[in-house]
Amino acid sequence: MKETLTDKILKAHLVSGNPTAGEEVTVRIDQTLTQDATGTMVYLQYESMEIPRVKTELSVSYVDHNTLQSGFMNMDDHLFLQSAAAKYGLWFSRPGNGICHQVHLERFGIPGKTLLGSDSHTPTGGGLGMIAIGAGGLDVACAMAGAPFRLTYPQVIGVRLTGELQPMCSAKDIILYLLKLETVKGGVGKIYEYFGDGVKTLSVPQRATVTNMGAELGATTSIFPSDERTREFLKLQKREEVWKEMKADEGAEYARVIDINLSEIVPYAACPHMPDIVKPVGELEGMPVNQVAVGSCTNSSINDLGAAAEILEGKTIAPNVSFAIAPGSRQVMLNSIEAGIFEKLIASGARILESACGPCIGMGFSPNSGGVSLRTFNRNFKGRSGTADASVYLVSPETAAASALTGVFTDPRKFQPKTHKDYSSFCKTDDSMLIPPLSPEKAAEVEIVKGPNIKECPKARPIEENLCADVVLKTGDNITTDHIMPAGSKILPLRSNIPEIAKHVFEQVDPEFYERALAAGQSIIIGGENYGQGSSREHAALAPMYLGVRAVIAKSFARIHKANLVNFGILPLTFANAADYDRIDRDDRLEMTDVIESLKSGRPISVVNQTKNLRFEVLSDLAPSSVEIMLAGGSLNYTKKMLEK
């Protein structure tokens, strides 16, 4: 049977289940990654399992989100993460070493391996031919403990690339075009697998840009084959020995095939406030721009920075523009200095930011009030930049640099077309900011450091047979995890303190949510389509659980958030009839009966709206193992029991 690359890797790692689209399976995880905003809770959860050393082939703890040390909390978290890594046998990437996805691509990714990360942009690793999946932190903690990862076996969508990108068009424009076609919910339950003659024209960093931002499709992950271009990249990284060819069989069948002629791709921009509101840059030309940022895990390779530097060389950015560069890794920064890229950028007026997530998560370099910010990042949700009324557009490095120069939205093709220089030859590796795992003997002597802001992870409650609770919030469509649990310099330092961070749940949507949920004791949330899209942050489930949310009834859910709700004992349900959404209001009192029996049998759950004297049905498509997790009171309790067995 002719197999896709996705099928080959997943089947090679299959632990249980039927590898057929829509069926639940479990797969063995080879590698994990965490970052500091999610990692503190991951290691607290792992610690509670009382397993002395991680059981994966390789696990890495990165510090890249909360690097702004404006008080004691972030630094305390860093010390906790470093000591936990030493205790449990992980690599530790120190603050300043770079963004987890860029560093992992450079130093640890291996074709054909599985990678699970507590960050939604973990699919970056798909650019190397990995099955790299973003997940909630608790799923990652369980994988480190040796448990397989549960997922619904995806549909595999083939993306056939032909032709070659034209001058001043980039990999960012490819994924923006695909988002325009597929939308932010088009990839739910799917893996996008790239193939065709056009693939060989793209370098690994270009492929990683596409797979990174494939997360915005709602996809499980995206993947490119491992070929000679992959081998070239790994050779530059002094890791050629891990390379192997990985590709789909000739004639492999996909659930659907999307054809993209790279020669026809033009510069695109994602408009506020969603990554799939995509227009050609030409339609936006002339719009004044206040701020431009190049970098993040999406577009921060040496060639991305080099493309911007070539446009700006010998010129000065427009006086109305604030311009910043955020290199993806320390390696990119050092190599860019040697290549003369930084000299050109600084001379043009660029500010150099730390090798970290920074502006992407509202951690510094926020736009002015009502400002227009062009960013080579992956998300432009309202308020994510740190400025509530800013308009953020997602663009390529070429469009960003051209617009910084003119001060208005500018199609970069207006500049003299040329082939960008390939700066790969400047690649030099330096792992001095990576701390390798200690031996088991030395690790046993390590004491984990916990500052006063680090609190224990709250425990989930088992689901009850009958549930009666008030609706404390009703939302619209495409509610993101940024809406549920905001980021930014004010809130991110509280990620290891659930009682404090819970005060900010839904504060952008309803400032009174915290007090109302707290007063209710237990409650229900009503959601629209694609509820919980965006980041993998489990705090968007963990903090509502702490506040007593027992169920979310929505029209549909984003993959990671739905899994996180189950992990923390919040029941995710969908309307049997979408029209019933309109018959429910905030403060209505809902009663569900025979919940457990309905979950076990797969029957609809009957709900009575006591306030309006209405009855309707909701559905659960939870697999048997997810039902067991709900009955056990969350994934942590369930996994501990399974590992004990």
Q: Does residue 332 share a domain with residue 257? A: no
Percent helix, strand and coil across the chain, each rounded to 5? 35, 20, 45
- Quote the CA–CA distance of 359 and 65 in Å, as a whole number: 10
pLDDT confidence of 290, banded at 50, 70, 90? very high
CA nearest to 327, candidates 285, 286, 294 = 294
| 189 CA to centre of own chain | 15
* Spatial contact of 449 and 79, defined as CB atoms under 8 Å apart: yes
Of 352, 474, 378, which Cα lies nearest the Cα of 171? 378
> Does 443 reside within a domain?
no
Domain end point (choices 264, 296, 327) = 264
pLDDT at 640: 79
pLDDT tops 90 at residue 644 = no
The residue length of the chain stands at 645
Tell which residue, 415, 395, 419, 397, has the closest CA to residue 406.
415
Residues 30-68: pLDDT tens digits?
999 999 989 999 999 999 899 999 999 999 999 999 888
80-125 confidence digits (pLDDT tens): 999 999 999 999 999 999 999 999 999 999 999 999 999 999 999 9
Closest of 127, 557, 479, 52 to residue 274, by C-alpha: 479
When the pLDDT of each residue in the chain is averaged and rounded to a whole number, the result is 95
At 504, which CATH number? 3.20.19.10
Bridge partners (DSSP) listed for residue 525: 473, 552
244 and 303 in a single domain? The answer is no
Residues 246 and 282 in one domain: no
pLDDT of residue 642: 78
Q: Residues 6 or more apart from 439 whose CB is under 8 A from it?
A: none
Residue 256 lies in a domain: yes
Tell me the pLDDT tens digit for each residue of 365-403: 999 999 999 999 999 999 999 899 999 999 999 999 999
Q: Provide the percentage of residues in the chain whose pLDDT is more than 90.
A: 87
137 closest CA partner among 418, 538, 610, 440: 538
Which positions ≥6 away from 591 have C-beta within 8 Å? 466, 467, 468, 607, 608, 610
In a domain, 440, yes or no: no
Alpha-carbon distance 508 to 480, whole Å?
Answer: 11
Do 209 and 335 fall into the same domain? no
Distance, in Å, from the CA atom of 79 to the CA atom of 82, rounded to the nearest integer, reads: 5
Assigned domain for 451 exists: no
Please tell me whether residues 196 and 293 are part of one structural domain.
no
Helix (H) or strand (E) segment spanning residue 374 = strand 372-375
pLDDT digits (tens, 9 = 90+) for 463-482: 999 999 999 999 999 999 99
Report whether pLDDT(308) > 90.
Answer: yes
Contacts of 644 (CB under 8 A, 6+ apart): none
According to DSSP, the β-strands at 31-34 and 114-117 are parallel
Confidence of residue 419 (pLDDT cuts 50, 70, 90): low
What is the C-alpha separation between 395 and 381, in angstroms, rounded?
A: 14
In a domain, 427, yes or no: no
211 and 360 co-located in one domain: no
Structural domain total, the chain: 3
Same domain, 237 and 323: no
Strand duo 268-270 + 278-280: pairing: antiparallel
Distances, alpha carbon 593 to alpha carbons 302, 462, 597, 599, in Å: 58, 15, 9, 11
The CA radius of gyration of the chain, in Å to the nearest whole number, is 24
State whether 253 and 320 are in the same domain. no
Same domain, 254 and 285: no
Residue at which a domain ends, from 211, 237, 264: 264
Give the domain CATH number at 331.
Answer: 3.30.499.10
Structural domain containing residue 585: 467-644
Look at residue 364 in the predicted model and tell me its pLDDT: 86
Same domain for 221 and 343, yes or no, is: no
Residues 386, 290 share a domain:
yes
Tens digit of each residue's pLDDT (9 = 90 or more) over 537-585 = 899 999 999 999 999 999 999 999 999 999 999 999 999 999 999 999 9
